[in-house]
């Protein structure tokens, strides 16, 4: 089963003229999709699972306008599992342990 899709618009100086309605519609749709994601909470991906790290969260704001909150993000601690309170001496050990949380 395959999904057919329209070919992507190739952006060149010739396609950037004002009367390219398809390009403008796609741009506006992209802007709206980006706005819909603003302010969301983002977790860390550890061992294939999304988890909140025990180190807490931080907030990111747009540099051009500090009133725009990009989102809150889980802080990562270098060698923590993320899914449990254990810590490890090496990053490899932390990742290997984190993978045990995804086996269930």
Per-residue pLDDT of 62-77, as tens digits, reads 999 999 999 999 887 6
Please tell me which residue, 40 or 78, carries the higher pLDDT value: 40
Q: Which two tokens stand for residue 101?
A: 């949380």
Residue 104 has a pLDDT of 46
Residue 8 has a pLDDT of 75
Nearest to 44 by CA among 103, 104, 101, 88: 101
pTM, two decimal places:
0.53
Per-residue pLDDT of 17-54, as tens digits, reads 667 788 788 889 999 998 898 999 998 876 677 877 77
- DSSP string for residues in 69-93: EEEEEEPPPTTB-SSSS-B-SSHHH
Residue 102 has a pLDDT of 57
Domain boundaries, the chain: 9-37, 39-104
Calculate mean pLDDT across residues 5-15: 73
Are the C-beta atoms of residues 102 and 49 closer than 8 Å to each other?
A: yes
- DSSP string for residues in 7-57: PPPPP-TGGGSTT-HHHHHHHHHHHHHHHHHTTEEE-EEETTEEE--TT-E
Is residue 90 pLDDT above 70, yes or no? Answer: yes
């Amino acid at each position: 089963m395959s999904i057919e899709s329209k070919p992507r618009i190739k952006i060149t100086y010739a396609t950037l003229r004002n009367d390219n309605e398809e390009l403008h519609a796609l741009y506006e749709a992209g802007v709206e999709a980006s706005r819909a994601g603003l302010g969301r909470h983002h977790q860390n991906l550890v061992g294939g699972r999304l988890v909140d790290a025990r180190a807490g969260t931080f907030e990111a704001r747009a540099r051009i306008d500090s009133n725009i909150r990009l989102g809150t993000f889980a802080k990562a601690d270098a060698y923590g599992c993320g899914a449990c309170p254990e810590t490890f001496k090496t990053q490899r050990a932390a990742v290997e342990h984190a993978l045990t949380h995804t086996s269930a």
